[in-house]
Amino acid sequence: MASIQVDVPDSALGSGQSREAFAEEAKFLLALKLFEIGRLSSSRAAEFCAMNRVDFLLRASQSGTAVTDLDELVIQEFSS
């Protein structure tokens, strides 16, 4: 796996948040964005941030990201 270094000002850390916790959150958010735009599958995104797929999808959903790709016809069928 490749490594990327990003300089982050101390002010970007949440109050009391460790650098390690910030790095984990940043990796998740990057994986989430790459999943949202279709660059990573859910499996690859989960691997990217060292999570299992189910946990990644649950956290993605909790973050407001749609984890299914249902078209309008299917949505209408379920709501009937």
Residue 28 has pLDDT above 90, yes or no: yes
Range of the domain at 53: 18-79
* 39 three-state secondary structure: coil
Segment 16-25 shows an average pLDDT of: 89
Indicate the range of 9-13, 24-28, 30-34, 44-48 predicted with least confidence.
9-13
Segment 38-65 shows an average pLDDT of: 93
Percent of the chain with pLDDT strictly greater than 90: 51
9 located within any domain? no
54 located within any domain? yes
58 phi, psi to nearest 5 deg: -65, -45
Instruction: Name all contacts of 35-39 with Cβ < 8 Å and 24+ positions apart.
Output: 35/60, 35/65, 36/65
Write out the two tokens for 16: 């009391």
- What is the pTM (predicted TM-score) of this model? 0.78
Quote the number of domains for the chain.
Answer: 1
Q: How high is the pLDDT of residue 74?
A: 56
